[in-house]
Structure formats: structure tokens, C-alpha cells
Chain A
Amino acid sequence: MLNLGPDEIAKYSFLAEAGQYLKDKGFSLVQFGSDSDLEPIVEKAFSRITTAIQKPNYNSEPINEQLDLEVFSFLIAVVLLKLCGKYTLIKRFSLAEARRAEKFLEKDLGKVSTPTEKELAQRIIQDLFSITIKIEEKDFIKIPISDYITHAVQFHEREWKLINRRVEKGMVFLTPHETVRLIRKELDRYINSKIISANTPPMVSGFQSYVEKLTLFSKKFEVPTIVSTEYPPCIKHAIEVLEKGENLPHSGRFLLATYLLGNGQNIEQIAPLFKNAPDYNEKITLYQLHHLKGSSGSGTEYKCPSCERVKSKDLCFATSDCDGIINPLQFKKKKTLNA
């Protein structure tokens, strides 16, 4: 683990080992619930959560005299979230904390920072996300292609594709902003998993009312879903090709079978769809379906490929109904924002 100074831990509070930090500072959790001098910290923790949830852009610059307040409020916020136990709140809070840390990282990576800050940002990215960074002159940061791809594959925007990046001699060139953006999801996931895996303490008297308010607050964010009975266009296309007795490539058959299996259909329902294929063989079809389901062979259950993969095989026929989904299986459950 990184050794951090007080100003650094205020910026990157999520790196603190909560229990140890409080202990080192001579506090116990119970004190925060009963000591009125510490109440502002709990208040700040609560407002830190509510601000984060409403606008995932918590933007507080640590002030030198209040470095402890910054770290304590983060740690108490985590305690409140754990006591509340609502996953939606934890998710939104960790996202906001990730965005906050992003801003510091970007600033520290940029040329205005002092070398120490630059080095810390580099070390955080290296230690937590295994990205080796080389800082170049002219505002550019160089990252090995393999490190870049490992993180960039999580993005669906075209600009993150390797083909749309400046690539030279095994390195990808990024601005500090892009570098930090590259680890956004993982930073969020890191903070999220740290909160999820933290122990839930027994209820602290004095925290009860905050926790109740948070529970009430979380109801706002429950999103109802509708289930569509329609197939996505890529699946419709695959079925049409087979119905016409034309040849559907292996990748198309894989898509169709894994989609239908993922959709809850059984092998007996799926197998007849392939009857019209020019090279149909009942025994082989059943064998392959069982294999995909994981009921034979290695036992691996094959998942429906992502929209990106479907697209790369020329099997995507997206319509506006596909907006916002990244896997054909999500076509079934689209969120209704106004429901």
C-alpha cells in the first residue's frame, strides 16, 4: 500500500484504511455518534452522500487546516452507507468519489503539479490499475499498448478504439485527462468494492436518524423496467436467414443459440430453428447446443456475445430501439425512465 501524507490522504481518502486511520488519530466510531464536537463531521459525511447521489460531482478541494475533516467525513459516510445497506446509494457515492479523485489525479498528472504530486498520481495508477506511465514533454503521457487496450475495451465510444489513437512504437499517447478517463470505471469499481467489502459496524446511536433519511432517500432511485417480448434485430435477422434456408455463419449460430439460451429457452425449443440450415445435422446441433449450455464438455456456459462483438462479425442490424444497450440480451429489459 502507498504511504500517504495528510494532504494526499485528504485528496485520495478512499486509500485510507478506515479502522486504522481512526485508531491512529485516537478516535472510536461511538464517539462520532455521541460527541457533539464531532457532529459537524457526521453532518458533512451525510451531506457528502446526498450531494454525491444527486450530482455525482462532489467537488471539494481539501483545505490545509481541514484535512482530517475531509478524511473523517469520507470514512463516516462509508459507515452510514454500510448501515443503510442500499446498494444504489453506495454505487452513486462511489461514482462521485471516483470523479472527485479523477480531478485530483488529472491535475497532478498535468504539468502544473510539482514532481512529487505527479509521481504520486503515477504510482496510484500503476499500483491500483497496473498501468505503466511515462510522462512525456508537451502534455503527453505514454502508455504501453497492452495496458491501454486492457482498460480501453470497456469503453463503447469509437474514440477509445486503438485505431483512433496516436500509436507509436508500442505506446499510446494520451493527455492527462484521457489517462484519468481511462481508469474512470475501475476507479469507481475500486472504491465501490472497498466500500462493499468494508465491515458493517453495529448501529451507532446518533447515526440512526441519518441512516433512516438515507433509506427514504434511496427510494427515489428505484427504476422500474418493462420486459419486451420482441427479439432484437440481430436475432430477428439470424432467424430469418435460417428460415430462408440460407447459410448462417458459425458466429451467427453462436449468437442465436447463446441469446436464446440466455433468454431462458431450452435446447428442445431452440434446436428446430436450425433445421433449415444447408448443413443441418440433428445430432451435431444438439451436441453443440448442449456444449454452449455447459451441460456437456468442459461445463463452461457460453454467454451471448456483446453488441460490439456482434458488430465486428457483421451481424448487427441495430435500430433506434437498440440505443443504450451493449448486449443483445438487454434488448429485452429496457429501462423506462418515466414509468
Chain B
Amino acid sequence: MLEQDLQFVETAFKKYYFEHFDLLSIPNRASEREFGYQKFNGGMNRHISIKSNEELRLMLITNIPSDVYCSNAYYSFPNLPMSEKDWKGADLIFDIDSKDLNLDCRINHTCIKCFSCGEVSILQSVCPKCKSTKIEKKSLTCKNCIEGAKNEVIKLYTILEEDLDIKKEKIQIYFSGNEGFHIHISNSPYQQLGSRERNELVDYIMFRGAMPETFGMKKSNPLRSSFVDIDTKGWRGRVSKHIYGSKSKRSKAITEIISTGYSVFQQRLDNLKEIIGVKIDPNVTIDIHRIFRLPGSLNSKSGLSKVLCENLEKFNPFQESCFIDDENTNVLANCPTQFTLKNRIFGPYKNEKVTIPKYAAIYLICKGLANTTIQN
């Protein structure tokens, strides 16, 4: 980021942390957690211990970080090096990102920026100006992406509640501040699980590794298979429901499964993971030492906040997570696709000087699609 853009964004971030500190709160058992932050154009600072809201406020105002993180893990000594921290357990965390959902709309709101010449253009595999393949994708999330991510959150929520028996009040859903949702679960029976064990939970949630026998099919003698009912709880019931459609179609569907054989059914189950499995980022959930974005903090990829979603269905991130003010700002914008913030549509901009509210300017600068050079 250019020096003057950096100053502009840092000032806006500082103002946010000053005026909206109430949106941040240190999580429970804060003194046992590791905190970390990144500065614009800087590296990661971690192994920090913060015990109170005052300490957090001081850290934010003094350092004006681009991103703030807090561990899902609890340690005896959170500020010591990793090997000396003494891990005590970790909250279960999930990350659902719309970029992992392979949605058709992505092509319409993803553009590229060339690492070599800085050219910005619509999505393509090489830079149209210098033909370099070293390009960076920039996505400006749309409503459809958010709806897709919400559906995944709902699927996850069902499994957490029904299968893993996690109580509603322990599940907190946050908008990540960019393209998806973070789900935090504290104080559950899964706190003590290590990384390998969490990977097993991940496979369960993503519907990975299912075998035909689980649903009643016998490999050696398919005719003696005994398929489970639609009403069965857990994945066995969900899969049956998906395959049969309804109780009345069950026997016809079973006849077909038996006639096509074991390996076809296995293939069908493998394909099902893309449809009924929950598309979480496995790396996040299996990481028991992760520092995860702090609720209420700003996301430097967008300038939007990570906020709690009280009502997921009605939640509108482009409205409810946008807290930067609307002061008119002049920027040189180069954004080939449209985006919506606070119910206002912006763009496309073709390397042009525009006057837009500060929240939109910050959004574009964070995405690397605008700069403040014209203010000189």
C-alpha cells in the first residue's frame, strides 16, 4: 500500500477503534488467550497477552493494526513462545468463505490485478497489458455469495446442534468482515480435542470418507442390503432423504442402487460431499493454535467489521458491518465491477477520479483498486 493511502486508511481505522470500541470485547478467559495483530505493510506480531478491555483499547490506539487476532486456544502462559505456552484446550472454530463455494456469480465480480505492471481488468488468466501470469484475484463479494455462505452456515448449525449436541447458546455466528462467516463454539465437550481428532470432525461435517455400508449396502451380497430409513438421525437419514426424495420413492431408489452396484453407489456418495457436505475451511478447524480474527475488529481486506449475526437470515453485511463514516473522499478508482455498500451501488470505475463516501473509498483501497494520489 502506498504511504499516503496507508495514512488515510490508518486514520480511518483509528477513528473506528476510537468511536466504536463498544463493538469489540475481549472474549471469555481472555487472560489465557494469545493475541496478535498485523500492521499495514508489516509482519505479524503475536504471543501477546491482553487481560482487559483497557489493555485492548491501548493496543489498538497505539498500534493502529490492520488486523487483530485472538487465539481459539487457552494457555497457561499465552505470551511465551509456542512450545512453552502450555496448551489447555481450544474453542471449536469454523470458517465458511464464499470463494470456496464455486458459485457462478464469482466471475461477474472478480477482477485481476497484475503483480508486474499493476493493470486492473476483468477476470482472465493473464494480464491483458503485459501478458504476465503473475496476477492477483480481487473479489468484491455480492449478495448471492453471502446467501450461499449463509446456506452453508445453516447446514453447519444443523449438524452442530443435532449430531454433535452443541447447545444453541454456545454457537456464535460472525460475519468475517470480508466474504464469509466465522462460527465460534466455546465451552463444549470438544475443547480438548487435538488437531487429528478435529480433522475427524471436519471429515464428518464435510461428508468426506463415507462408505456404502454406512447406509446399509452390503459389498459382498448387495441383495441382502438393508438400507436406512429417511427418519434416521444424523448423516444416515440426511443421505437417505437426499437419495430417495420421499418415503414413497424409497423402494424404487433402492432397487436402482442395488442393480447399479457397490462402486456406483460409492461414487455417488463421493459426489454427494459437494452437495450436502458443509463447505468449511478444514485448515481453520483443525488448527488448535490459530489466532483468529477478533470479533468487532476491522478486516483489512475490506474495511468492514467482523460482527455478530443475531439474525442470520436477515443479516446484511453490506449494511450492518460497514462502520466507516460517509465523508466525501476523492480517489483514483480502477474497479471494473460494481459493488454495493449501505444500499448504494458503486462502480464500475475505469481508472477515474471519483468522489465517494469514505467507507467505499476505504473498501476500494483495501482491495487494492483505488488510491488517494489525486489528493496531492
Contact = CB atoms under 8 A, between A and B. Distances in A.
Interface of A: 144-146, 149-150, 152-153, 158-159, 161-171, 251, 278, 297-300, 309, 312
A70 B83 CA distance: 47
Contacts of B83: 298-300
B214 A164 contact: yes
Interface in B191-205: 192-193, 196-197, 199-204
Nearest to A245: B133
16 contacts: A146-B192, A149-B200, A152-B200, A153-B196, A153-B197, A161-B200, A163-B203, A163-B208, A163-B209, A163-B214, A164-B213, A164-B214, A170-B165, A297-B82, A298-B83, A300-B83
B162 interface: yes
Nearest to B207: A163
B170 interface: no
Contacts of A251: 283
Contact of A158 (B202, B209, B235): B209
Interface of B: 81-84, 133-134, 162-166, 189-190, 192-193, 196-197, 199-204, 207-211, 213-214, 233-236, 282-283
Contacts of B84: 298
Contacts of B207: 163
Contact of B81 (A146, A163, A278, A298): A298
Nearest to A313: B282
A170 B134 CA distance: 47
Given A162-B201, A169-B162, A170-B164, A297 B213 contact: no
Contact of A167 (B193, B235, B282, B283): B235
A161 B209 contact: yes
A170 to B, nearest CB: 3
Contacts of B235: 163, 167
B197 A158 contact: no
A299 B82 CA distance: 9
Contacts of A164: 209-211, 213-214
A168 B162 CA distance: 7
B211 A162 contact: no
A170 B189 contact: yes
Contacts of B133: 278
A-B pairs with lowest CB-CB distance, top 7 = A170-B165, A298-B82, A298-B83, A164-B214, A162-B204, A168-B233, A167-B234
